[in-house]
Amino acid sequence: MLKVVVLVSVFFAAVFADDSDNEIDSRSVDLSYLGSAIFGTPKESSGKKVEEWTENSPFNPEELGEYAEGDILFPEQGRNGLVSKATRWKDGVVPYEISPYYSANDKQIIKKAMEIYHKYTCIKFRERKSSDSDYIAIVNGNTGCWSSVGKVKGRQEVNLQSPYCTTKVGTPMHELMHALGFVHEQNRWERDDFVSIAWQNIKRGHEGNFKKAEKGSTDGYGVKYDYRSVMHYSPTAFTVNGQATIIPKDSSKNLKMGQRDGFSRGDIIKINTMYGCPNKPPGDDPDAIAGAGPGGNGSGGGGLLSFLFQIVN
Ligand SMILES: [Zn+2]
């Protein structure tokens, strides 16, 4: 009997060892540039700040948090050691649970965000089965909008405080993209070639939110710096005086930063490349936003937008 138990234990240990080896590979995202700032506890004070947000605010609710870069958080409890690499979800399958403490509207926005992933990528969000040990729990805590980056073992929370983080479909899309393993666009190592950071306009103590990744630590998957990414901050993120904190070197890009209407073409390419999806991004208009419905303000080529409306609606 003892022999059987030992054999079974060895078998499971081997399976788990293989599993984790496969999850970390050379294309993982290196989070070491964020250091220990990614660890912390969810804060109600961040929830209060998010309550200042309205649809007309010149920034996004996820830019109001007191976590690393505003919305990156690995809750401390139960962890030991530093997470330096983001890991991927096996085969792009992400089991999830949604808190019952959401309105029908909130749930609709969250589901819509997932549907947009399903339309343009091979990522599969599906309800958690009892056999799924690793999963995301989408919760409505009064601690703002935040997520950890990549897959964490066990239950990991994606906090979407209603109604602030569930107003624009791009906010759940943004947090889910963190959970898949992506970081913020404006902190790419080569960002200084594309934007200037106006340090004098940043709220004191928030300068660390604009720290660049180390060269070679993150992968743009062949997509050049993308002002329209759903992972890009707003021009006035963390401003102390209402003036811009991120200034594009090409002024025509100014209005495009910080959109939360859907995926940019670059976002789709990056997700599909990281996860080895066979999908190709729709159309060839680099300015189109995939997921922006007729009510959204994503603008792009008429032909492609009509195509998107047909398949989104
Ligand atoms: Zn973020």
Q: What would the pLDDT profile of 158-181 be if each residue is shown by its tens digit?
A: 999 999 999 999 999 999 999 999
Out of 233-237, 274-278, 301-305, pick the least confident.
301-305
Query: Is the Cβ–Cβ distance between 102 and 140 less than 8 Å?
Result: yes
The pTM of this model reads 0.84
pLDDT band at 253 (very low <50, low <70, confident <90, very high): confident
Vertex 254: Cα angle to 116 and 111 (nearest 5): 15
For residues 191-211, average pLDDT: 95
- Gap between the Cα atoms of 240 and 29, Å rounded: 31
Residue 68's pLDDT is what? 92
Work out the mean pLDDT of the chain and round it to a whole number: 83
Say how many Å lie between the CA of residue 69 and the centre of ligand 1.
Answer: 7
Least confident of 3-7, 40-44, 48-52, 64-68: 3-7
163 preceded by a cis bond (ω within 30 of 0): yes
Q: Rounded to the nearest whole angstrom, what is the distance from the C-alpha of residue 177 to the centroid of ligand 1?
A: 8
Ion ligand 1 residues within 5 Å by Cβ: 71
At 256 the pLDDT is 84
* Gyration radius of the chain's alpha carbons: 19
Catalytic residue from among 175, 185, 190, 207? 175
Residue predicted with more confidence, 169 or 281: 169
User: Comparing 101-110, 132-141, 149-158, which segment has the lowest mean pLDDT?
Assistant: 149-158
CA distances from 171 to 78, 109, 178, 192, 306 (A): 27, 9, 11, 25, 24
pLDDT tier, 23 (very low <50, low <70, confident <90, very high otherwise): very low
Give the count of beta carbons closer than 10 Å to the beta carbon of residue 144: 31
Residues making up the binding site for Zn(2+): 174, 178, 184
| Cα 34 to averaged position of ligand 1 atoms, centre (Å) | 13
**What SS3 state is found at 111?**
helix
- Pairing outcome for strands 85-86 and 124-127: unpaired
pLDDT-wise least confident of 113-122, 123-132, 146-155, 280-289: 280-289
Q: Would you call 175 a catalytic residue per the annotation?
A: yes
